[in-house]
Amino acid sequence: MVTRDDYASPVRPTWCPGCGNFGTWNSLKNALVKAALAPHEVLIVSGIGCGSKLPDYTHANGLNTIHGRPVIIATGAQLANHRLKVITTHGDGDSFGLGLGHFINAARRNVALVDIIQDNQVYGLTKGQYSPTSDPGFVTVTSPRGAIENRVNPVLLALSAGATFVARGFARDVEHLSWIIGEALQHRGYALVDVMQPCVTFNRRNTYDWYGERAYKLQEAGHDVGDLQAAIHKAQEWGERIPMGIFYRREDQPAYHEYLSVLQSAPLVDQPLGGWTPEQLQALVEEYV
């Protein structure tokens, strides 16, 4: 039986006390345990940022990559071994700044990833610049007159790109977020989980109370997750009321790897090497190192 202790790491988090990353981290571990996934069956890929430290604090296969690139690297890992449950954990700056193109392509291709965005609406690791999801007018150390761009709407963008599972959670509501991530883990293809999580150091606007006063649960409101138009309508709510839960889910579309004939017999990691011996492959690698 898989327990939370199986995912315990000796590395202590360096997140600020009260950081929303703790809620996302605990929710992910809860969901993995409930799904009965052992650490060796999971790969967590991250980029650069406070939230991207999560693999360091989790006893599972982990890969910390470069800024803006975790989704494309996770795609390669998933295609190489689609038996792994591949998860990305990265921030809104990483996802929707440099990584925006990869986000859209993973969604439209329906790559079998659980893409968890730790969305605190600010660049925390680099000391508080506004991010692509910051609200217009958000004042930071580098924008004393306030952010001037329109914010990226992750949920609406994912829906328009063709994502087959789109959800939003709240880091303070660990029980609800654990359920959302658990549902995403069961999904056939690409699953976005956009997490509203405060940065207690650099974002004093979008606080736990700010979200708590506005957030409501779609499933309690009777939302139909199979209705794309209703999902698009709900995705445009942001301000006095903010919906969270599963916006949209479609299970009948094959995941990207299911279309690839070369992967029908077995994952790449289990396929023969075409006559190459391990020694020959090592010699080839050394030739280019």
How far apart, in Å, are the Cα atoms of 155 and each of 196, 232, 280?
A: 12, 8, 47
Quick: pLDDT tens for 69-104.
999 999 999 999 999 999 999 999 999 999 999 999
* Whether the Cβ atoms of residue 147 and residue 136 lie closer than 8 Å to each other: yes
pLDDT given for residue 182 in this prediction: 98
Q: Parallel, antiparallel, or unpaired for β 114-119 and 215-217?
A: unpaired
Read off the pLDDT of each residue in 110-121 and give the average, rounded to a whole number. Answer: 97
Please, which residues have CB within 8 angstroms of residue 256's CB and are 6 or more apart in sequence?
A: 75, 79, 109, 110, 111, 112, 189
How far apart, in Å, are the Cα atoms of 163 and each of 52, 137, 190, 215, 260?
A: 23, 30, 6, 23, 19
Give the Cα separation of 253 and 108 in Å (integer).
11
* Whether the Cβ atoms of residue 131 and residue 96 lie closer than 8 Å to each other: yes
For residue 108, the tally of other CB atoms under 10 A from its CB is 15
pLDDT given for residue 277 in this prediction: 82
**Model confidence at 265, in pLDDT bands (50, 70, 90)?**
confident
Q: Is the pLDDT of residue 274 over 80?
A: no
Topology of domain 4-261, CATH: Rossmann fold (3.40.50)
One-letter identity of residue 205 = R
Quick: pLDDT tens for 165-203.
999 999 999 999 999 999 999 999 999 999 999 999 999
SS3 194: strand
pLDDT given for residue 276 in this prediction: 81
Give the Cα separation of 200 and 209 in Å (integer).
11
pLDDT given for residue 1 in this prediction: 92
* DSSP single-letter state for residue 8: B
